[in-house]
Chain A
């Protein structure tokens, strides 16, 4: 076989073809596939991060819920205690009021009794005077003996 221009020509064609394929297909294609690999890796990492965040958020939510429950329980407890206190307080108040009313009534009664006694005393005095008048069968000067009568009435 002779070396002819066909051989050289095919070699030139081959060289140009290799250069062209490398420049216009291979390099963009590899760059694109590397880019794709990177993007997939990024996407997976982002998904992982998202999952992690979700986990954290769930934990946080559970914690908040727990706190809220505790708070609510505390509030209810306090309210109950307050209610008991109020009931107790009002019981005490009512008792005190009752006591006061009772005392007032008693003192009023006492006053009434005293007044009645006074009235009775005065009437008895009058009766005594009238009785004495009748006994003595003469008019006793009320004015002259007023001092005496008063003393008598106080003694009764």
Chain B
């Protein structure tokens, strides 16, 4: 509490470290980042509420407001899925849609002033609070590992267990270099969730960090730097959510390809 009331510029390193620590309780496996979970739930709740409201009162003749937005977004995602997929899987498009919306909302909290929520929560005795869940690798890995689990599931479902195993054995160098093939394919497969999670985390973390640095500057520089970086971040926020969605579709599309 005492640290929060001091001017931020007094100890920049501590200020930044303070803002980059999660609100967590427990130890080991049960060390829970309450802020990531909480914000994730709240945003998921918002999405569910809007989905339920819109899905309950659809008007085919005179679509208005949020229904229009969701319709065009849906068509956009659905078009992309249909382009990427040879086979039809009705689960992929809503999955990609949800990924995009949820990640986009979590990312967009990056634009909230960095000191606002930590300050509010400090009044309730919470020492650390990180508002943006995607700056927490736990969240980004949760997403990418979920996608990875689906990739493995569909690989086995479409190719069969033996068929999936064969891609490890005979890909990419043919049957004479089986050990090398196993290593190569393993690296390739593991790189998928890793890159997916770290790309999102890295981008959002950097964005947050620059905002924190901007907050350390004198107040007459802050608006300029903050707004310029904010405008740039709007692009990053949308782009990262979009990339995550596209890669989800691509990985699942590859999983659906028959073994050759």
When chains A and B are docked, how far (Å) is the Cα of A32 from the Cα of B141? 35
Question: Scoring B residues 145 to 171 as 1 if CB is less than 8 Å from chain A, else 0, what string do you get?
Answer: 110000000000000000000000000
| Residues of chain A with a CB closer than 8 A to B33's CB | 4, 6
When chains A and B are docked, how far (Å) is the Cα of A16 from the Cα of B24? 23
When chains A and B are docked, how far (Å) is the Cα of A2 from the Cα of B58? 44
Knowing A14-B142, A24-B52 are in contact, say whether A2-B44 is a contact too (CB < 8 A): no
Give chain A's interface residues, CB within 8 Å of chain B: 1-11, 13-18, 20-22, 24-30, 32-33, 35-36, 39
When chains A and B are docked, how far (Å) is the Cα of A8 from the Cα of B145? 10
Contact: B48 with A21, CB < 8 Å?
A: yes
When chains A and B are docked, how far (Å) is the Cα of A22 from the Cα of B78? 13
Contact: B32 with A5, CB < 8 Å?
A: yes
B5-13, B111-119, B132-140, B180-188: which lies at the interface? B132-140
- What are the 6 closest A-B residue pairs judged by CB atoms, nearest first? A10-B142, A25-B51, A26-B94, A6-B138, A22-B94, A6-B33
Contact: B58 with A32, CB < 8 Å?
A: yes
| Residues of chain A with a CB closer than 8 A to B98's CB | 14, 17-18, 21-22
| Residues of chain B with a CB closer than 8 A to A30's CB | 74, 78
When chains A and B are docked, how far (Å) is the Cα of A121 from the Cα of B188? 162
Contact: B71 with A10, CB < 8 Å?
A: no
A-B contact count (CB 8 A): 122
CB pairs A–B below 8 angstroms (14 shown):
A5-B30, A6-B37, A7-B138, A13-B40, A13-B44, A17-B102, A18-B98, A20-B51, A22-B95, A25-B55, A26-B74, A33-B60, A35-B60, A36-B60
Q: Could you tell me how many residues of chain B have their Cβ less than 8 Å away from some Cβ of chain A?
A: 45
| Residues of chain B with a CB closer than 8 A to A16's CB | 44
Contact: B138 with A28, CB < 8 Å?
A: no
Q: Pick the residue among A1, A6, A24 that contacts B51 (CB under 8 A).
A: A24
When chains A and B are docked, how far (Å) is the Cα of A9 from the Cα of B22? 15
| Residues of chain A with a CB closer than 8 A to B51's CB | 20-21, 24-25
When chains A and B are docked, how far (Å) is the Cα of A150 from the Cα of B147? 160
Q: Which residue of B lies closest to A5 (CB)?
A: B32
